[in-house]
Amino acid sequence: MSSFTTGPGLPFHVYDTTLRDGAQQEGMNLSVADKLAIAPLLDELGVGFIEGGWPGAIPKDTEFFARAAKELTLRNAVLAAFGATRKAGAEAWQDPQVRALLDSEAPVVTLVAKSDLRHAERALRTTGAENLAMITDTVAFLAREGRRVVIDAEHFFDGYRDDPAYSLSAVLAAFEAGAEVVALCDTNGGMLPDWVGQIVTEVRAAVGPDAILGIHAHNDSGCAVANSLAAVDAGCTHVQGTVNGYGERTGNADLLAVVANLELKGGRQLLATDGPEAGGLREMTRIAHAISEITNIAPFARQPYVGASAFAHKAGIHASAIKVDPDLYQHIDPVAVGNDMRMLISDMAGRATIELKGRELGFDLAGQAEVLTRVTHRVKEAEANGYTFDAADASFELLLVEELEGARPGYFQVESWRAIVERAGSRGTPATAEATVKIRAGGERIVSTGEGNGPVNALDQALRQALVRAYPELEAFQLIDFKVRILDAMHGTDAVTRVLIETTDGQTSWSTVGVGPNVIEASWEALTDSAIWGLRHHGVAPR
């Protein structure tokens, strides 16, 4: 990474395959609408290429390209259609799979091609020579039709280690037939950086300085990011990867970490949107999280650069020093990737952490030693009972307010509540949910019954209806996420349920936590905390 030796003047491609290879991930299931929502976010990030899927082979990918042509306006990226070289023994122009790539109207076509002789023989059941002809014919045909062609040289590194001459001949055949890029793929993901660096150096020597070589890495050895950097260092100027490292097995190279490393540590400027002032990199965290909302894959908190924990500090030993000099404790300024430094509240937190966290939430606790001691004690006790304030700032703030002001804001008093779910009939008959709450607010006793598609929803409706007369501000609040986790089930004690609820008022969103043996009871705690925090945040006084 000291040098980044690349051919003089070669363009650098940031090539995203979230919508194609990323979608192979276990548990991921992208609809056409999902893909149409993700592509503009990738474009906003500033990648140069968006691989949208395999038209012809997967019906919804055919539909994606058809709708993308009409509905999407991309400013930075071009779309790439993924497919395969022609069938053995057939003509490229007659192969329906190849024709579907043309029909997609994507300006770039990326073809997976065998470059490991064993795969050509054993998986395709053809000869090495016919496999080379398949590459030559298909590339030449698509190039003649005006497409920019990228070759994904599948299993390249494994193949090269077994039979370098054959693997190289596949690369050379692709370039000779008119491919713009040959991406060397570590399809099984088992490479290590030294191996990648060595092999790319040899390939670069063989293809000359003007050919565009790419890298496509998977993370099976835990080295996908480092392998991508090693390949760039050895002369690749086209990097493939996926947002959040999505992909089959252990995933593809996390394109965000690769780009952030190359930009922030390698001094390059790769994203189309990066200017001297701001750009894609600074939007990276927001875009990564927005995409995970669409894929519905829970974000990995420890993800480099963009993870919720990536700049979160817990250790007491560090908290006091961070007050002195935050730069000493962070590898980069989190603002560079749109992330934030956070202080975490936990039983390991000393009073310094609580003080810093208080400051983050707008409370000056510097002189209040007694409050700090009480809050620190209560946090430790609550965490021992299953609460977590790491992910529930709003509940922590209410605890702090309670200690500062002697009590939570008294917006309402609860007399009782009840939730009923029932189904009369067999599988297929819908169930009904109903909840009743009895509370006092604004000087009145209110009995309110709500219905919902589930018990928490019904309780939320009932509580909202009961409170909205006294507090019309509540109308704008909306429950947007609800997470449940069973704690301690393996310790043989009674399981405890932890519920995290996220609420928004359209501008801000806030998270609250509830804990108890009963999921509905824990939800009720988080729901009421959410209402209290929201009203307090809006400056509403108890009525």
Find the binding residues for a second copy in span 277-296 (CB under 8 A).
Answer: 293-294, 296
| Total Cβ atoms within 10 A of residue 245 | 25
Our finding on whether 373 is near a second copy (CB under 8 A) is no
Our finding on whether 251 is near a second copy (CB under 8 A) is yes
- The conformation of residue 263, written as its DSSP 8-state character, comes to I
CB 461 within 8 A of CB 435: yes
Using alpha carbons, select from 216, 206, 161, 212 the residue that is nearest to residue 184.
216
Which residue of 219, 237, 395, 503 would you call a contact of a second copy, by CB under 8 A? Answer: 219
Our finding on whether 225 is near a second copy (CB under 8 A) is yes
**In the window 337-356, what residues touch a second copy (CB under 8 A)?**
344, 346-348
Tell me how far, at minimum, the Cβ of 209 lies from a second copy, in Å. Answer: 22
State how far Cα 63 lies from the chain centre: 24
Long-range pairs, 35-39, Cβ under 8 A, ≥24: 35/64, 35/68, 36/64, 36/67, 36/68, 36/71, 36/72, 37/294, 38/291, 38/294, 38/295, 39/68, 39/72, 39/74, 39/77, 39/79
**In the window 69-88, what residues touch a second copy (CB under 8 A)?**
84
Which residue of 75, 331, 377, 445 would you call a contact of a second copy, by CB under 8 A? Answer: 331
**In the window 454-513, what residues touch a second copy (CB under 8 A)?**
454-456, 480-491, 494-495, 497
Q: Which value, to the nearest 10 degrees, does the dihedral of the CA atoms of residues 346, 347, 351, 356 take?
A: -10
Range list of β-strands (E), 286-360: 312-313, 342-343
Which C-beta is closer to a second copy: that of 2 or that of 73?
2
CB 320 within 8 A of CB 350: yes
Tell me how far, at minimum, the Cβ of 16 lies from a second copy, in Å. Answer: 17
Which C-beta is closer to a second copy: that of 87 or that of 485?
485
Single-letter amino acid code for the residue at 351:
R
Which residue of 100, 199, 259, 520 would you call a contact of a second copy, by CB under 8 A? Answer: 520
Which C-beta is closer to a second copy: that of 86 or that of 180?
86
Point out which span in 167-175, 393-401, 448-456, 461-469 binds a second copy (CB under 8 A).
Answer: 448-456
Our finding on whether 431 is near a second copy (CB under 8 A) is yes
**In the window 376-395, what residues touch a second copy (CB under 8 A)?**
383-384, 388, 390-391
Tell me how far, at minimum, the Cβ of 222 lies from a second copy, in Å. Answer: 4
Cβ burial, residue 435 (10 Å; 0-12/13-18/19+): buried
Dihedral class, residue 113 (left if φ above 0, else alpha if ψ from -120 to 50, else beta): beta
Q: Is 363 helix (H, G, I), strand (E, B) or coil?
A: coil
Tell me how far, at minimum, the Cβ of 77 lies from a second copy, in Å. Answer: 23
Our finding on whether 449 is near a second copy (CB under 8 A) is no
Single-letter amino acid code for the residue at 5:
T
- Which are the contacts of 220, defined by CB distance < 8 A and separation ≥ 6? 188, 189, 190, 249, 250
Point out which span in 101-109, 228-236, 395-403, 464-472 binds a second copy (CB under 8 A).
Answer: 228-236
Contact pattern for a second copy over residues 94 through 123, marking x by CB under 8 A: ------------------x---x-xx--xx
Which C-beta is closer to a second copy: that of 145 or that of 163?
163
Which C-beta is closer to a second copy: that of 279 or that of 454?
454
Tell me how far, at minimum, the Cβ of 479 lies from a second copy, in Å. Answer: 9
**In the window 183-202, what residues touch a second copy (CB under 8 A)?**
187-190, 192-195, 198
Which residue of 8, 9, 277, 328 would you call a contact of a second copy, by CB under 8 A? Answer: 328
Distances 226 to 191, 299, 534 between C-alpha atoms, Å? 10, 21, 44
CA distance 240 to 253: 8
Q: Which helix (H) or strand (E) holds 467?
A: helix 455-468
Q: Rg of the Cα trace of the chain?
A: 28
**In the window 18-57, what residues touch a second copy (CB under 8 A)?**
23-27, 29, 31, 33
Which residue of 95, 152, 180, 254 would you call a contact of a second copy, by CB under 8 A? Answer: 254
Which residue of 230, 231, 354, 399 would you call a contact of a second copy, by CB under 8 A? Answer: 230
Using alpha carbons, select from 80, 120, 83, 112 the residue that is nearest to residue 100.
83
